[in-house]
Chains A and B, each alone.
Chain A
């Protein structure tokens, strides 16, 4: 099931702007290898889940996968064939706000070669350009 917050203060949020690079959450902290976002954007809960499934199907039961992003932001949309106006739309899905440099996923307990192949599959699912990084 896709991720979403358990409790929120407000159902809807303003769009906001993604400015600057990630000053935190930009290092490998739990595993040995990671997939880092090179661009900024919104990553939906469904996409995060698709990435998790792609990684776990490749890894089978080897290694350990860490998801470093969480969809905190509700994204609203207006139904099709609706006239403009009449207020803000209803919440459609949840998304994680990702700044350039954010670590999206981490893997530990596998070889570098396996981690690279795994993250190549995950990167295809992502709406932003990503790169493979190692623990520094």
Chain B
């Protein structure tokens, strides 16, 4: 389940600032930064096509080539408002055997039998922080819910993790549960006043109405 190591051809970036970053994006690159291991922080530019390919493949551990040659972990991604374009990326220097902490998505697989008995599958934890070797970062953690009956739950302790991967969550934390569906609530009784209470004004004053 671990991914292949994607290679990104990066260029050193000497220009800074919003306008230069915009120009860079218009030219088909994404501004990025590389830091870690107590070494200097380097501003770089990554080709947008290569980056989007790496993201599509769920790669976290990448090989930086071109102006510099490093192995790095993709630690932070800034998206635009619409979640379509990557605005900026943070890379952290890592060595292949180094232990890293990284967030990995939790995905549900299958169909819970409990959902056919008027139950609702509530997915409570969508992302978990795992600790593993940089080259062993799993793309996602799959949870099989084919045996999840009504009123049952799957906890962090029940997750099947790939070898060498550990979680820092409490084992009793609930990842997914099947709860009885709530019937649509009856109309709530209409409160005495149809206007909200005004902070700092007594009830007698509120009767006056005008501001």
Contact = CB atoms under 8 A, between A and B. Distances in A.
Contact of A61 (B82, B83, B120): B120
A136 B83 contact: yes
Contacts of B120: 61-64, 109
A8 B79 contact: no
A32 B198 contact: no
B1 interface: no
Contact of B81 (A10, A23, A62): A23
B211 A88 contact: yes
B195 A11 contact: yes
Nearest to B184: A56
A133 interface: yes
Nearest to A135: B126
**Range class of the B interface residue count:** 20 to 34
B181 A8 contact: no
Given A6-B196, A11-B195, A62-B181, A32 B81 contact: no
Contact of A11 (B82, B190, B198): B198
B188 interface: yes
Interface string B181-203: 11110011010000111111000
B187 to A, nearest CB: 6
Interface string B69-83: 000000000010111
Contacts of B190: 1
A56 to B, nearest CB: 6
Interface in B121-152: 121-123, 126
Interface in B162-209: 181-184, 187-188, 190, 195-200, 209
Given A1-B187, A7-B196, A12-B211, A64 B81 contact: no
A101 B81 contact: yes
A61 B118 contact: yes
A127 interface: no
A41 interface: no
A8 B184 contact: no
B198 A4 contact: no
Interface residues of A, number: 31
A21 B79 CA distance: 13
B115 interface: yes
Interface string A51-78: 0000010000111100000000000000
Contacts of A88: 211
Question: Most chain-B CB neighbours within 10 Å: which of A11, A21, A32, A100?
Answer: A11
A23 B79 CA distance: 11
Contacts of A10: 198, 211
Top-9 shortest CB links A-B: A61-B181, A21-B81, A101-B81, A109-B121, A7-B197, A5-B196, A8-B196, A109-B120, A9-B199
Given A4-B196, A61-B183, A88-B211, 12 more contacts: A5-B196, A7-B197, A7-B199, A9-B200, A21-B82, A22-B81, A26-B83, A27-B83, A56-B184, A62-B120, A91-B195, A133-B83
16 contacts: A1-B187, A1-B188, A1-B190, A6-B196, A8-B198, A8-B199, A11-B195, A23-B81, A27-B83, A56-B184, A63-B120, A64-B120, A64-B122, A100-B81, A109-B115, A109-B123
